[in-house]
């Protein structure tokens, strides 16, 4: 087995496209006809070592994994939400953030298409985002076309030297942002797929691409998000901002619901924690509860 460490960039029918960060070279590791049993599936972003034949021999220890989209070893996840078209949804944003925090990954918020809002609408949304900044989420506002305006320069600076994933629902402008950050992005992605025998890339799966100051995950958009693997107790710990106050609840298994006794989180609603997000929490908690019921029936 070689000591060299490779990073998994993409998965194709021909094998795994790999990258050696120490030498800046690419390689294709073919898929075994008879795959040995693995407790862990290979994920995009995995760091791996190869055997003498060039097959992936070992997955190196992961920093973290994200359930959806499935990826590994991200330094930070940027959740993209549109100010308009599609309409801003704090409910979907809170779901995304809960999923990311459950994986112990740092999260930031990017609001796109800010220039399509009227000034009054923009100011109202900016005020709403203060609730997230208060609980330690960086927030960036971006315009549709002018990449030099609003928070784009700060965003570009903040991702330097990191492995970053942009996630969000379909139509929020993720591809536009990636190409603004790295104008050569689309050509590089297409080249990666052509070289692996796959043809042109469409964002239906996760890929990872080296860029001059780090790595960028390209991920598929989706219209809804289900927290299939999460329990209500998980949600009570990882919902945005609640980890800051849950340890002061009277009971360690507190679910922070209206009927929960001795709940310190509820005492902070309307103060340090948003009432709007609390309504989202109750709704999401009911969805997770329903998922738990279905699992028990299986």
The pLDDT assigned to 30 comes to 85
Which is more confident, 297 or 173? 173
Position 199 confidence tier, pLDDT thresholds 50, 70, 90: very low
Which is more confident, 145 or 242? 242
Share of the chain above pLDDT 90, in %: 61
- CATH for the 66-218 domain, from 1.10.10.10, 3.40.50.300, 3.30.540.10, 2.60.40.10: 3.40.50.300
Position 2 confidence tier, pLDDT thresholds 50, 70, 90: low
Please state, in angstroms and as integers, the Cα–Cα distance from residue 234 to each residue in 14, 20, 226, 261, following that order.
38, 36, 14, 18
Of 86-90, 156-160, 188-192, 268-272, the range with the lowest mean pLDDT is: 188-192
The pLDDT assigned to 264 comes to 98
The pLDDT assigned to 218 comes to 86
Query: Under a CB-based contact definition with an 8 Å cutoff, are residues 10 and 18 in contact?
Result: no
Whether the predicted pLDDT of 262 surpasses 60 = yes
Rounded mean pLDDT of 264-269?
A: 97
Whether the predicted pLDDT of 35 surpasses 60 = no
Q: Supply the mean pLDDT for the chain.
A: 87
Which is more confident, 66 or 172? 66
Read off the pTM.
0.89
Whether the predicted pLDDT of 20 surpasses 50 = yes
pLDDT, tens digit, 9 for 90 and up, residues 91-136:
999 999 999 999 999 999 999 999 999 999 999 999 999 999 999 9
Position 281 confidence tier, pLDDT thresholds 50, 70, 90: very high
Is the domain defined by 232-297 classed in CATH 1.10.40.50? yes
The pLDDT assigned to 184 comes to 72
- Helix/strand/coil (H/E/C) assignment for every residue in the chain: CCCCCEEEEEEECCEEEEEECCCCEEEEEECCCCCCCCCCCCCCCCEEEECCCCCEEEECCCCCEECCCCEECCCEEEEEEECCCCCCCHHHHHHHHHHHHHCCCEEEEEEECHHHCCHHHHHHHHHHHHHHHHCCCCEEECCCCCCCCCCHHHHHHHCCCEEEEEEECCCCCHHHHHHHHCCCHHHHHHHHHHHCCCCCCCCCCCEEEEECCEEEEECCCCCCCCCCCCCHHHHHHHCCCHHHCHHHCCCCCCCCCCCCCCCHHHHCECCCECHHHHHHHHHHHHHHHHHHHHHHHC
The pLDDT assigned to 33 comes to 54
- Delimit the domains of the chain by residue range: 6-61, 66-218, 232-297
Rounded mean pLDDT of 260-271?
A: 97
The pLDDT assigned to 198 comes to 42
Handedness of CA 176, 179, 183, 187 (dihedral sign): negative
The pLDDT assigned to 298 comes to 55
């Amino acid at each position: 087995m070689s000591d060299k460490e490779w990073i998994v960039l993409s998965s194709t029918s021909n094998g795994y496209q790999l990258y050696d960060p120490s030498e800046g070279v690419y390689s294709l590791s073919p898929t075994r006809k008879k795959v040995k049993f693995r407790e862990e599936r290979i994920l995009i972003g995995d760091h791996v070592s190869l055997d003498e034949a060039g097959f992936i021999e070992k997955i190196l220890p992961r920093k973290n994994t994200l359930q959806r989209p499935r990826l590994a070893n991200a330094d930070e996840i940027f959740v993209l939400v549109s100010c308009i078209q599609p309409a801003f949804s704090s409910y979907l944003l809170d779901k995304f953030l809960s999923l990311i925090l459950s994986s112990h990954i740092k999260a930031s918020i990017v609001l796109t298409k800010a220039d399509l809002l009227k000034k009054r609408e923009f100011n109202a949304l900016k005020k709403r985002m203060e609730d997230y900044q208060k609980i330690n989420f960086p927030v960036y506002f971006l315009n549709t076309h002018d990449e030099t305006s609003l928070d784009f320069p700060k965003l570009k600076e903040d991702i330097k030297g990191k492995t970053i994933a942009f996630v969000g629902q379909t139509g929020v402008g993720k591809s536009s942002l990636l190409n603004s950050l790295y104008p050569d992005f689309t050509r590089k992605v297409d080249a990666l797929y052509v070289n692996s025998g796959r043809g042109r890339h469409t964002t239906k799966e996760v890929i990872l691409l080296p860029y001059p100051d780090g790595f960028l995950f390209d991920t598929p958009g989706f219209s809804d998000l289900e927290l299939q693997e999460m329990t209500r107790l998980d949600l009570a710990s990882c919902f945005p901002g609640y980890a800051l106050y849950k340890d002061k609840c009277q009971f360690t298994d507190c679910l922070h619901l209206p009927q929960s006794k001795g709940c310190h989180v509820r005492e902070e609603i309307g103060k340090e924690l948003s009432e709007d997000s609390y309504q989202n929490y109750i709704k999401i908690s009911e969805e997770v509860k329903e998922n738990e019921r279905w699992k028990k029936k299986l």
